[in-house]
Amino acid sequence: MDTHKHDKVFYITFSVVLGFLLAFTGSIMLIANTLDANEGVDAAARKRIDDRTAPVATVVTDAAALVKVAAPAAARAPMSGADVAAKVCAACHGSGALGAPKEKADWAKRKAAAGGVDGLAKSAIAGKNAMPPRGGDASLSDAEVKSAVEALLKQAGA
């Protein structure tokens, strides 16, 4: 037997073995696909298994999500002075309830007494007599309270 013939026999044998292995792999994949892993397991049992094998904790790697977890109510878009005045301050200043200044003359007098808008804003931030600090909404920033004062003055024409 010359070496040439020897090689040919080897290649044929090798190809046959390779083909057989490929066919064997393919048939196993086909069989596995036709088997339903959940067959015969009722839904309640399935759920028990899922519950028992569920991870006990999750790892948060997203920094933005972590910030959200730590400070859920932190982010709120700043409100305009007119918005704050309508949503928070109007409860009293719209009607003059509890003696809250409403009319132009009343506002003008207080503005002069407080030394301008900044003084009024300071007073509104701190609260005064029947008026709670920041009109009762602690989430308002100093800037929001000040622009609300400006909006109230503008609405009264003072």
* Contact residues: ligand HEC, CB under 6 A: 84, 88-89, 91-93, 98-101, 110, 114, 120, 123-124, 128-131, 134-136, 140, 145, 148-149, 152
CB of 94 to ligand HEC, least distance (A): 9
- Identity of the residue, 46 or 109, whose beta carbon is nearer to ligand HEC in the bound complex: 109
Contact present, 82 and 152 (Cβ < 8 Å): no
Which tokens in the block code for residue 116? 């301008």
CB of 75 to ligand HEC, least distance (A): 20
CB of 72 to ligand HEC, least distance (A): 23
26 vs 132: CA distance, rounded Å: 77
Contact present, 69 and 60 (Cβ < 8 Å): yes
- Identity of the residue, 33 or 129, whose beta carbon is nearer to ligand HEC in the bound complex: 129
- Vertex 128 angle, CA 124 and 133, to 5°: 50
- Identity of the residue, 69 or 149, whose beta carbon is nearer to ligand HEC in the bound complex: 149
Owner of token pair 């088997």? 35
62 vs 107: CA distance, rounded Å: 50
Contact present, 107 and 101 (Cβ < 8 Å): yes
- Identity of the residue, 19 or 136, whose beta carbon is nearer to ligand HEC in the bound complex: 136
CB of 124 to ligand HEC, least distance (A): 4
CB of 119 to ligand HEC, least distance (A): 7
- Identity of the residue, 55 or 157, whose beta carbon is nearer to ligand HEC in the bound complex: 157
101 vs 135: CA distance, rounded Å: 13
Contact present, 150 and 81 (Cβ < 8 Å): yes
